[in-house]
Structure 1
Amino acid sequence: MTSALRIQKFNQLMQRRIRSVLLVSTPYDAFVIQEEGNLTEQIFLEYKALSLSSAPHVTHCATEQQALELLSRERFDLVLRVARLADTDLAEFGRRVKQVQPDLPVVVLGFDHAEMTRLRELVSRDAVDKIYLWSGDAKILLVIIKELEDRLNADRDIAVADLRIILVVEDSIRYYSAFLSVLYPELMKQSQSLFAEGSNRLDRLLRMRTRPKVLHATHFEEAAALYEKYRDNLLALVTDVGFPRGGQLDVEAGLALARRVRADIPDLPIVLQSAEERFAEPARALGLFVHKNSPSLLSEVRQFLTDYLGFGAFVFRLPSGEEVARAADVRELERCIACVPEESLRYHTSRNHVSNWLLARSEFDLAAKLRPQKVSDFSSIEEVRRYLLEELSHLRRSENAGTITDFSARAFDRESLFQRVGEGSLGGKARGLAFLNHLLTLNTDEGRLAGMRVCLPQTFVLTTDVFDGFLQENGIRPAHLDGRPDEEILARFQEARIPDGVRRGLEVMLEHLSGPLAVRSSSLLEDDMLHPLAGIYETVMIPNNDPDPAARLLDLERAVRRVFASTFMRNSRAYLSQVGSRPEEEKMAVVVQCLVGQRFGGRFYPHLSGVAQSYNYYPLPPLRSEDGVVQLALGLGRTVVEGGDCLRFCPRHPAMLPQFSSPQQTLDHAQKSFFALDLGRSRVGAEVELKDAVMRYELEAALEDGTLPLLASRYDAENDVIRDGPFGDGPWVLTFANILKHNSVTLAPALAALLELAERGMGTPVELEFACDLGDLGRRVPPDAPRREPVLYALQLRPFLAREMVKELSDRPSATGRVVCQSRRALGYGRSRIGDVVYVKPAAFQPAHNPRICREVSQLNERLLAEKRPYVLIGPGRWGSSDPWLGIPVQWADISGARIIVEASPEGYNVDPSQGTHFFHNLTSMRLGYLTIPPGARAGRDEEFVDWEWLQAAPACAETEHLRWVRLADGLIAELDGRHGSGRLSVPA
């Protein structure tokens, strides 16, 4: 059973709770009970001591008449009646209560044990449900409530989750009041110690609902009826030796009951209790004997729960009793079973010790599966061992699936895909991943979509309280970082120390993680539903391959500190100011992920990576916007998210590639280089940036690695045709035809299904970053080696505000004056007046100058921000591309004052518009206007254009080598209608 299904099931337990108690007593008796504080407070303190929630509220009435009047107006869950009220008939009062509320339990609390016999005679079951003795210990209040809740919930909870029952048989009011006051708190404490093994706080809290229920009987017939009803769920029998049978005291009724149970269930733990030593020998023949007057009763109860009911460690012994191993939790049990001697394993499995131990830990399904199995059903004890190891491994995998597990340095869980260090927020990026992990668990067939395995890489999250602790311990105050250069901020953070507990956690991680790691930001605002941002904060990839563990730890610490520092750097400050937030309000979690890919010599990278969006802004018929779009590249995803050349396709129609409509277009637009992690560039102790370990390589390197032939085609120049596959001797062209056209891997259908699943779960269009390891595809594998299958990994999921960007105007754009810019591929909505325009002068533009243009844009942006003047930014290529040959490589801080961005290229500079890049994602999430103009379009000739002549004639406010800044007295009217893809900038009429 997966963790999500288990939590769903456990959440249905204990539905009937005692939340309000009506106490009926004289003021004096109420004072006695409340001597150390009011009753509600005492019950609350008992609950708090046992980490229980929802302590009931107590209302006091001094007379029965007051109580009955109150019952006629209000609902209560329990009436607690003190027995010393003068001139009252307890039975009559109970009947009158049940006339008002028929199902309301009535419990009598006596003060004097000498009165117990009289009380028993006065009270009948149709009037009073139970009698207890007050001995000065407030735990009896807990017992009354919990014993009643167990009885109310037993049938339903057993039906829902197959819970276990401890049957207690005792007729003495004095003794069962005392014994249950020992049993219940100890049972809860033991359960809490076990359920600390739960994967997270919610799992641990819900598992408390699965503790064994205690059902109490006072005579033989009642006990026999409960046994017959719950025998399949009986965990233990605790019985007095003598109690009523057939209306008469039978001094050996308990022995008779124990013999009956032992005949049916030979290995059931049985405890017999008596104040008479003469029953010790026959009792020990049936189970464990406990003397009622034992001064060590509490320790004996605790020992019984630990040794017989599986609440302690599993102690592996030889038949002689010699201990050979000890397991504190399921992981250790699996480890011990793998190595204990055969005779020890046979001893325990032949006595159902393993299933009993699992029952105590609420692993009901596996315990029920193991219990009927006999050692004789297997050919050898080694086959039993293999069977148990397989079942325990499956248990851990299924329980961890889709779960956020609390990281434990003491017991590292290699099977858990998603682990949390700390108790703060996961941050936006990690939250999206956790949600996707949850969706995949609930909605996939053993982790497969469209026949392809889909999952997350192993992920660890340092929550935001780690960030808070880091700042506090190192005396870093966010307000003091405002306006500081990035280099100074980074240096301050790299000098700081990560808290010792977190540092130890990182050290333990690295003991189990041998491959490269990606260290990513996950701030509170990142991937927020209203302003999802991307690429603003740092991602650092580290080789994690130094033979010195201390050096590897230092690398990881430096990466974490760099991500922390990026919270306060120039780019993030600029973005936060745009959304009305301050850096000191932002908190940073950090995601540490195993990097997806394989090692190829000194390089590490995935075969495929990219960005998939469930909404396509630029569909070409017959494609629809709702069909989505994918940008795909060889190697690390930086090619896509930073605006490099990659392949764009629709996941529902992967064979339709308008980008490759002719051989020449294919040659022009196909990916020509890729990113990979250089495993030789560890930067321990160096001043060089950690992220320099990610390098750009030409495709010849992929050919050398053997990855290119799996994905590329060859160009036949003689026939001017692209031939799929690695055949011929022409130039290699990265078309991914083997994947998209010939379906060697069902990548496109899997992405389409994943996008649909994520969009349905989030309730909004989504953007997904992914990577794909093709395993041993196209590779010969030795006959005795398992073949690794292709796996699609989800790296990040964020909302994509497509619908906001294509909202329709209340009416279509209206006629104004002269149109300065017009596009049929526009995003955004609304009308506004903007007085400033910054544009790249067409005559001065050269792609080689793009880095210089970037610096000029940044300088003008600073001036316009200082004047609080929003502006229109017009320029060629793909804004925000990290490849300077494809566009101007601005970062967000360089253009943060722009309100409308226009991509308008000269003729011959054919670059696909931004889509799938982090820059484009942030542009849409900020709801900025965005217009695309075809390369070389001219005013007066083409439907879409920029009127360069008009702009050139307008008076310049400032001019640089490549830019002109124009300020217009009346401004420009911007009208954007994203629903119809139209946008224009016009002079006011």
Structure 2
Amino acid sequence: MISNEPLQPDDRVSTGLSGLDEVLDGLRIGDNVVWRVSDLDDYRRFVLPFVDAASDAGRQIIYLRFGDHAPIIRDHPSVRTITIDALGGFESFTSRVWHLIEQHGRGAFYVCDSLSELLNAWATDAMVGNFFRVVCPFLFELDTVAWFALHPERHSRMTLDRIRQTTQVMIDVHRHGDDVQIHPIKAWRRQSPTMFLPHREHDGQFQPITDSSDATRLQASLELEHLHRQPLLDYWDRLFQEASRALSDQDTDCIDDLQEQVLQVMISRDSRILELARRYLSLEDLLGIRSRLVGSGYIGGKATGMLIARNILLKDATEPWQSQLEPHDSSYLGTDAYYAFLVHNGLWPAIMRQRSGEGYLSEAPALRAAILAGKFPHEIQAELERLLDHYGQYPILVRSSSLQEDGFGNAFAGKYDSVFLVNQGAPEQRLSALEDAIRQVYASSMSEDALVYRKQRGLDQREEPMALLIQRVNGRFHGRYYLPDAAGVGVSRNTFAWDSSMDPEAGMVRLVMGLGTRAVDRIEGDHACVMALDHPMRQPFRNQDESYRYSQHLVDLLDLQDGKLDTRPLSQLLETTNDLPMDHLAEVDRAASTRAEQIGLQGPVWRLTFRPLVQRTPFISRLSHLLQTLEAGYRHPVDVEFTLHLDQQGNPAFNLVQCRPLATIGETGPVALPGDLPERKLLFRTQGHFMGGNINLAIERVIRVDASVYAGLSTSQRYDVARRVGEAVRASGVPTLLIGPGRWGTSSPDLGVPVRFADIAGVAALVEVSEKAGEMVPDLSYGSHFFQDLVETGIAYAALFPDIQHCRYHPERLPGAPTPTSTESAVNRAVQVHDLQAQHLQLTGDVVRQQLVCYFTD
């Protein structure tokens, strides 16, 4: 920003007052001028001569109007007034100002309202300084001159110091009756023996106070005047100081008002979330959140959902959740810390490029890399050190909690990163690992999946700052390993009931041993235990062998020795760890145990069926009550993540780590299944194994992955198939049915097609088929992030098991697939595209009868 080239004559700009020009040696092109005043009239009296002089010089003059105070400039013929709403938040306001500066180009002059007015909109004083650190260098770069005012007593010293460091000119104005004095504090690249002395105004001239006795008296009078004023506290801190006072004094008139103020600046802007928060987060609760907050600003959707859900249980439940719910031990990194990080690392120009239509996706990789290389402001680092002191060496989880996340209709499930930290080693090492984790979560906001998700929902131009939820990982130390006894995802509405006797309102759970990552992600080679809460022992398997085969065999845990999240086979884990609660979670497979003994292997073979937990403990009744209570509090179905801590008898205590409104496909009204459907018109039919309630979709294209071809492909070719499918979906433009073997979205190509959700987000319906070729089996993965995406985007889902009695599937009846040539690649042969211009498909599902049929209409 700063150049050492000699000044040219045309660099000079007049303040409009010859005496002030003499004091400052004039202004320079590129100057940002900050006036620190106690009364805005003292700013106005200097602004008007400046505007007149700029008008006489033929300058373009822009007045940025954003304050609640009376206008600084009224009806000046040479001034264009642009009103900007600051209530939309730091990012939208700063972006608007940035684009205005960009639009008006080089050489424009600006007059701005008092920066202190931004506190009324943002509450957080630090963001005023960050705004100035963003726009001041940009104004300088475009050869502008811009004037700002602020009330110094309303800002913290940190903010005042940052503004001073960034601006080129800063002037204090003091008034005693009719006596006005100015005191230049900074004038970049200018110097004189008396420039930085106080100056008294007399007949338009400014005389330096050169007598030290006069200067001392002036300073003493100023200190006396400010003696009884509030000390320089951050606006944010003053708000919470007042909240503490109101609670201490039981000032009921103030408590409700302060609760609302804090909710608006720390919890959410969403009206539905705010309505929930008013009912369940008291002012005392909000002060407790503040005590665990690093920085300032919003705590984000994920943190808010977790806290509201806990209070719903503690306040509304008929059961004593105080004893059944583990105390939370979470900390929060506010959204202002995210913006401070971006500003501190000079990334705002990159943010503006990425926010543009043409740069939305193309600029993201470079911005992501810059975030990963960024440094933290010193004040944030110091607070992170104190946070780590609190957690000691317990493992912690750093989770995204963006402003829009986990709200009504926008869960962002799996779009942003969460990072487990084993939190071992020296304090410096643990701090470095925490900073890396925070950078990783920040950078994940620039992932293609997240950006496409936002664009599809019309959120790409909405403010989406990243807050963080930092949680102590619930669990136990088992030698070198650390893991919870069990974890799961619970949903209060079972829209994936695979049996007609199941009540969708009873809810559902997806349960695993160890870390809950296996409950929310579709991970290769393994299966979580899926239970309908009204029939927890009824499984979608034909026999016990199949139940064992499709149970959990791998356990996610933290390896303290290797310092990372890892996966271990249960059998291997049991060889080295003898204090796992297997009696409460698993059953012995007697046949497998006998075979193991015959070949010299020790110990029983355990199968994670969770039957002991279901049959011997109140787990199901407690989870059902938890989900029903939360649904009643939210007045909407919910989706929760939790861990379990088992006592010696196996009784579970719940640690609620996440709660959000459940996204569901709305009912389309009564659905009429075709009565006398000729067999030749049937593509597939199934009883159960579909999701989304009532379905009535007209299909014009089918994209199908041929399992017989796919089974013979190499791993790299299978990833090529995933890319080819994504290309076909994006090129479709009509209602499309996607059919493939095994699991869509799996991370293992051996189990299905490893597409990203962003690649297939435009389809109308998704079908997973159990195929003998390659033994690829659908995963009943309700609660997984991939599945949650299907629910939120209204994509119908079905799992087909052609070998079972109530399922029929005839892919050979699909018309219009191009005849493969001998030279065509195996990848192209695997992906078959069927355009159905003359013979449309109808997909119809009846949630009450649990019947789904897909048939040709012509």
Equivalent residue, structure 2, for 1:647: 529
CA-to-partner distance for each residue in 1:259-290, whole Å, 9 max, x for gaps? Answer: xxxxxxxxxxxxxxxxxxxxxxxxxxxxxxxx
Of the three residues 537, 541, 545, the one matched with 1:664 is 545
Equivalent residue, structure 2, for 1:966: 834
Give, in angstroms, the shift of residue 206 of structure 1: 4.3
Q: Evaluate the alpha carbon distance shift between residue 498 and residue 952 of structure 1 in structure 2; reply closer, same or farther with a 3 A threshold.
A: farther
Give, in angstroms, the shift of residue 562 of structure 1: 0.9
Q: Evaluate the alpha carbon distance shift between residue 968 and residue 402 of structure 1 in structure 2; reply closer, same or farther with a 3 A threshold.
A: same
Matches within 5 A, 1:306-385: none
Equivalent residue, structure 1, for 2:324: 453
What amino acid sits opposite 1:405 in the alignment? G
| CA contact 1:838–1:874 (8 Å) conserved in 2 | yes
Equivalent residue, structure 2, for 1:737: 611
CA-to-partner distance for each residue in 1:668-710, whole Å, 9 max, x for gaps? Answer: 122111111121334xxxxxxxxx6333444330453221533
SS of the counterpart of 1:455?
Answer: coil
| CA contact 2:802–2:808 (8 Å) conserved in 1 | no
Give, in angstroms, the shift of residue 720 of structure 1: 10
Q: Evaluate the alpha carbon distance shift between residue 502 and residue 953 of structure 1 in structure 2; reply closer, same or farther with a 3 A threshold.
A: same
Equivalent residue, structure 1, for 2:685: 822
Of the three residues 806, 810, 813, the one matched with 1:950 is 813
Structure 2 length-normalised TM: 0.60
Equivalent residue, structure 2, for 1:425: 298
What amino acid sits opposite 2:562 in the alignment? R
Equivalent residue, structure 2, for 1:442: 315
What amino acid sits opposite 1:461 in the alignment? Y
Work out the CA distance in 1 between the residues paired with 2:817 and 2:581: 51
Matches within 5 A, 1:597-616: 597-616=475-494
Q: Evaluate the alpha carbon distance shift between residue 848 and residue 590 of structure 1 in structure 2; reply closer, same or farther with a 3 A threshold.
A: farther
Structure 1 length-normalised TM: 0.53
| CA contact 1:878–1:913 (8 Å) conserved in 2 | no
Matches within 5 A, 1:487-886: 488-514=366-392, 515-547=394-426, 549-582=427-460, 585-616=463-494, 617-620=496-499, 622-643=501-522, 644-654=526-536, 656-659=537-540, 662-682=543-563, 693-702=565-574, 704-705=576-577, 706-707=579-580, 709-710=582-583, 711-717=585-591, 730-743=604-617, 746-774=618-646, 791-802=653-664, 804-809=665-670, 818-825=681-688, 826-828=690-692, 831-846=696-711, 852-865=717-730, 868=733, 871-886=736-751
Equivalent residue, structure 2, for 1:913: 780
| CA contact 1:851–1:889 (8 Å) conserved in 2 | no
Give, in angstroms, the shift of residue 933 of structure 1: 1.6
What amino acid sits opposite 1:475 in the alignment? G
Equivalent residue, structure 2, for 1:148: none
SS of the counterpart of 1:769?
Answer: strand
Give, in angstroms, the shift of residue 552 of structure 1: 0.9
Q: Evaluate the alpha carbon distance shift between residue 520 and residue 625 of structure 1 in structure 2; reply closer, same or farther with a 3 A threshold.
A: same
Give, in angstroms, the shift of residue 540 of structure 1: 0.7
Work out the CA distance in 2 between the residues paired with 1:882 and 1:740: 30
Q: Evaluate the alpha carbon distance shift between residue 903 and residue 680 of structure 1 in structure 2; reply closer, same or farther with a 3 A threshold.
A: same
CA-to-partner distance for each residue in 1:499-540, whole Å, 9 max, x for gaps? Answer: 333222211100111211111111233222123231111111
Equivalent residue, structure 2, for 1:18: none
Equivalent residue, structure 1, for 2:244: 204
What amino acid sits opposite 1:773 in the alignment? H
Work out the CA distance in 1 between the residues paired with 2:711 and 2:287: 51
Larger Rg, first or second structure (1 or 2): 1
- The number of equivalent residue pairs is 584
Work out the CA distance in 1 between the residues paired with 2:670 and 2:486: 40
| CA contact 1:875–1:902 (8 Å) conserved in 2 | yes
| CA contact 1:648–1:657 (8 Å) conserved in 2 | no
Give, in angstroms, the shift of residue 877 of structure 1: 1.9
Equivalent residue, structure 1, for 2:856: 987
Work out the CA distance in 2 between the residues paired with 1:718 and 1:555: 43
SS of the counterpart of 2:439?
Answer: helix
What amino acid sits opposite 2:736 in the alignment? Y
Give, in angstroms, the shift of residue 572 of structure 1: 1.0
Work out the CA distance in 2 between the residues paired with 1:429 and 1:856: 35
| CA contact 1:199–1:404 (8 Å) conserved in 2 | no
| CA contact 1:850–1:888 (8 Å) conserved in 2 | no
Equivalent residue, structure 2, for 1:392: none
What amino acid sits opposite 2:784 in the alignment? T
Equivalent residue, structure 2, for 1:901: 766
What amino acid sits opposite 2:558 in the alignment? L
Work out the CA distance in 1 between the residues paired with 2:385 and 2:591: 55
Work out the CA distance in 2 between the residues paired with 1:584 and 1:719: 57
Give, in angstroms, the shift of residue 407 of structure 1: 4.0
What amino acid sits opposite 1:716 in the alignment? R
SS of the counterpart of 2:451?
Answer: helix
| CA contact 2:492–2:637 (8 Å) conserved in 1 | yes
Work out the CA distance in 1 between the residues paired with 2:241 and 2:504: 41
Work out the CA distance in 1 between the residues paired with 2:675 and 2:717: 38
Of the three residues 786, 799, 813, the one matched with 1:932 is 799
| CA contact 1:521–1:591 (8 Å) conserved in 2 | yes
Percentage identity across aligned positions? 25
Work out the CA distance in 2 between the residues paired with 1:556 and 1:822: 51
Work out the CA distance in 1 between the residues paired with 2:497 and 2:457: 27
CA-to-partner distance for each residue in 1:919-971, whole Å, 9 max, x for gaps? Answer: 1111101111212222447xxxx764332112376336996253222233346
SS of the counterpart of 1:405?
Answer: helix
CA-to-partner distance for each residue in 1:808-845, whole Å, 9 max, x for gaps? Answer: 34655699993333344433456454433221103224
Matches within 5 A, 1:203-242: 203-204=243-244, 206-207=246-247, 210=250
The alignment's C-alpha RMSD in Å is: 4.3
Work out the CA distance in 1 between the residues paired with 2:474 and 2:712: 34
SS of the counterpart of 1:520?
Answer: strand
| CA contact 1:493–1:561 (8 Å) conserved in 2 | yes
SS of the counterpart of 2:840?
Answer: strand
SS of the counterpart of 2:467?
Answer: strand
What amino acid sits opposite 2:514 in the alignment? G
| CA contact 2:294–2:384 (8 Å) conserved in 1 | no
| CA contact 1:521–1:538 (8 Å) conserved in 2 | yes
CA-to-partner distance for each residue in 1:786-810, whole Å, 9 max, x for gaps? Answer: xxx85310111111133x3444346
Give, in angstroms, the shift of residue 972 of structure 1: 3.2
Work out the CA distance in 2 between the residues paired with 1:574 and 1:762: 28
